[in-house]
Amino acid sequence: MRSYFVTDIDECMKLWEKLIPVKEISDLWGFRFCFQRHFNHEPFFLILEDESGIAGMIPLSYVKELDIFAFFPGEIWKGKTWIERTPIYVREPYYTEELLSCCPERTYLRYMEASTEFYDPGFELDEIGYVLYPPDFDFNLDNFLKRFSYKRIKEINKVIRSFTVDSETLHINRLEDFSLLLEMSLHYFGQNSYLYDPRFREGFRDVMYFLHEKEFLRMVSFEIHGCIAAVDIGALFNSTYTVFLGGTDSQFPGVAKAMNMHHIEYACTQKVMKLDFLCGDFHWKRLWHLDPEPLYRFVTPALRSEEELGGIVKDEPIHLLDQGHRHS
């Protein structure tokens, strides 16, 4: 058994496409490369190999400004990666522990799924992912609404009706509205926005074009009285509907409720198996009775101390789905 690194980007692409199972939209190499193009961190794919060939792989990037190794492509801002549920490859589950033991000294892996067979004692609880599984309520919106108290759903419906009287218009995949989403985010949150970082901003602009080209994009612009009140960017792929980015105009308080309900209704009508609102233990996600799923992190001993971690995660960034006053 031996371990080594692959740093040539073309070789990394071949390894990724050969070994990484495509489950989430972000498991596509083209999706990841949109960020690699702008962050340009050096890839360090960790390979574990025996006489039968590759036994395991962790796709890493070296993030020079933090002197850490993170999941490829290392799209880190204020110490937090954005892409969730990055898979690692093991030929058999029992290789997991040995593969992780071969990680570089300063490795910091975030937002990992961990099944009972694919688990390592070095995993720590990270943040909570919030999802819905429409089959659980028979793809029926009314069944989902039974999760709310009568008073709460009455309040939500009252707000939603105020936006859908006669002047509401939905625009799908109007790409020029990306600039409005940027404006909303930067106006309210300034340097606390992921989109303040031009690498992330342009990386996600490339993601939008990539998804559109592949016909996975679902970008929703909500127009009220001639004004764009909210813009959300999502993707429908492999029977999973993921909502990535969200921004709202403060002139329309509560419009996020209408957008949330729209996404859930769309997931029901399209009979998707999973609706993913991403991680972040934000108040509105609990109020909307989304299903919590724990995600895990792996931190090598060199980074484990409170002081060291505090130096990586400096200020808590505001998650993109909570920018633009997405509150309930």
Q: Are 313 and 306 in contact (CB under 8 A)?
A: no
- The contacts of residue 39 (CB under 8 Å, 6+ apart) are 61, 73, 74, 75, 199, 203
Residue entry with tokens 């993707």: 235
Domains, in order of start, for the chain: 2-127+294-308 (3.40.630), 131-292 (3.40.630.30)
Q: What percent of the chain has pLDDT over 70?
A: 89
What is the pLDDT at residue 79? 77
Global model pTM greater than 0.75: yes
What is the pLDDT at residue 315? 55
Kindly give the pairing relationship between strand 240-248 and strand 274-279.
Answer: parallel
What is the pLDDT at residue 117? 55
What pairs with residue 4 in β-bridges?
Answer: 47
What is the pLDDT at residue 278? 94
What is the rounded distance in angstroms from the CA atom of residue 122 to the CA atom of residue 104? 14
What is the pLDDT at residue 301? 87
Where are the strands (E) in the chain, listed by range? Answer: 2-6, 42-50, 53-63, 68-71, 76-77, 80-81, 89-90, 108-112, 123-132, 168-172, 217-224, 227-237, 240-248, 274-279, 291-299
What is the pLDDT at residue 326? 44
Angle at 24 between CA 18 and CA 27, to 5 degrees: 35
What is the pLDDT at residue 134? 98
What is the rounded distance in angstroms from the CA atom of residue 317 to the CA atom of residue 189? 10
Query: What parts of the chain have a pLDDT lower than 70?
Result: 115-120, 164-167, 281, 306-311, 313-328
What is the pLDDT at residue 328? 42
Q: Cα-atom radius of gyration of the chain, to the nearest Å?
A: 20
> What are the pLDDT digits (tens) for 268-324?
999 999 999 998 767 789 889 999 999 999 999 888 775 466 667 665 555 555 543
**C-alpha 244, offset from chain centre:** 6
What is the three-class DSSP state of 272? coil
Query: Which 3-state string (H, E, C) describes 146-183?
Result: CCCCHHHHHHHHHHHHHHCCCCEEEEECCHHHHHHHHH
